[in-house]
Amino acid sequence: MKTPDYTAYIKNSFSIVIKYKWLWIFGALAGSGSGFSLSRGFDFFNNFYPDQKPLPDPSSSTEKIANVLGSTTSALKDWLQSIPISKWVILSLLLICLIIMGLLIALIIINWSRAGLIKGIDKALSENEVSLETVSPEGFKYLNKMILWSLFLFGIVLCLTTITPLLWLLIYLIIKTITFLNIIWITVGLLAIIPLFFISFLMLTIINAYAERLIILKDYSIKDALKTAVIISRKTLLASALTGLINFGFKIFIGFAGFISLFLLIGLPAYLTYRSIQTYSAFSLFLGILTVFALLIFIFISSVLGASLNVFSYSNWNQLFRDYLKSINGGKND
């Protein structure tokens, strides 16, 4: 496969983002579970926003807490010991059922939106009609396969993140007594673990991108999709890594721009409101209301930006996948 024209990719992706606004819905939900999603970045920025509530007087509260604990601790202790085991079992069962239900719903939402997004972008690239009505059934059509695939991928990630450190620890325990080997093993482990994880996750990201498209656009089974995705990833490693890097670069850029605008539009007025509370109460009230409005607008814009950025990323991957298919089919897209 020859080097892709990334300028054309970016141009096409931008025009898809602007022209097919229905895809934003899928983009917004598809990003809700991904590791590099913009929404996560903004969560970080939201957490950065300083909590400006005045701190309570510690001397008074400590005394109160001590009193509360003193008077009720023994009663609470007695009561906790008197709770029948059946109640704990019911509580655990209810919590487990709720967690499972929540996970199931999250899996449905994320995988439906991913399938819809991939199919929707494919339709957009072929200049077919794209709307919630036309794309939504495609999301349902591949939902089961996508859920199974995401569970499989989750299993691999879980294995990678647990088995590798455990294996390292096991070897470390075996050679623990030999000081020389011990030092070498720790050095090798520390030096190798970060690049190893980075390469593994990069490969998994690329394989995942191709496998998802093979499942949705070519109706492959999970096994076939995995096999073919590994082959495509090997053949297009550099192009895929560059596509991933471009997507990541855009996310970082937008995330940084979001952080700056959050500081300028929300942080600064909030700080000024706080400073002017005691001196200019009417002005601070006005500024406070304005800040709340600015915050709401910021949340709205950041959610739209996050959604469109996901559409942009998925569109780049779709175009790369299309180009690969063209290259093996001698210019045809099938």
Q: Which residue of 23, 25, 130, 146 would you call a contact of another protein, by CB under 8 A?
A: 25
Query: What letter would DSSP give residue 3?
Result: P
> Is there binding between residue 101 and another protein (CB under 8 A)?
yes
Give the CA angle between residues 52, 254, 320 to the nearest 5°.
Answer: 150
> Is there binding between residue 190 and another protein (CB under 8 A)?
no
Instruction: Please say which residue, 64 or 223, places its beta carbon nearer to another protein.
Output: 64
Alpha-carbon distance of 44 to 23, in angstroms, equals 25
Q: What character string, x for contact with another protein (CB under 8 A) and - otherwise, covers 288-307?
A: --------x---x--xx--x
Instruction: Please say which residue, 207 or 216, places its beta carbon nearer to another protein.
Output: 216
> Is there binding between residue 76 and another protein (CB under 8 A)?
yes
**How far apart are CB 105 and another protein at their closest, in Å?**
5
> How many Cβ atoms from other residues are within 10 Å of residue 238's Cβ?
11
Q: Which residue of 8, 18, 68, 167 would you call a contact of another protein, by CB under 8 A?
A: 68
Please name the amino acid found at residue 165.
Answer: P
> Is there binding between residue 333 and another protein (CB under 8 A)?
no
Instruction: Please say which residue, 76 or 199, places its beta carbon nearer to another protein.
Output: 76
Q: Which residue of 7, 59, 60, 82 would you call a contact of another protein, by CB under 8 A?
A: 82
Question: Cα torsion for 81, 83, 89, 95, to the nearest 10°?
Answer: -100
* Distant-in-sequence, close-in-space partners of 171: CB < 8 Å, separation ≥ 6: 185
Q: Which residue of 28, 225, 226, 232 would you call a contact of another protein, by CB under 8 A?
A: 28
Q: Which residue of 15, 61, 62, 72 would you call a contact of another protein, by CB under 8 A?
A: 72
Q: Which residue of 18, 89, 103, 132 would you call a contact of another protein, by CB under 8 A?
A: 132
Helix axes 281-328, 237-262, angle to 10 degrees: 170
> Is there binding between residue 34 and another protein (CB under 8 A)?
no
Three-class secondary structure of residue 314 per DSSP: helix
Residue reference for tokens 């499942």:
215
Three-class secondary structure of residue 49 per DSSP: coil
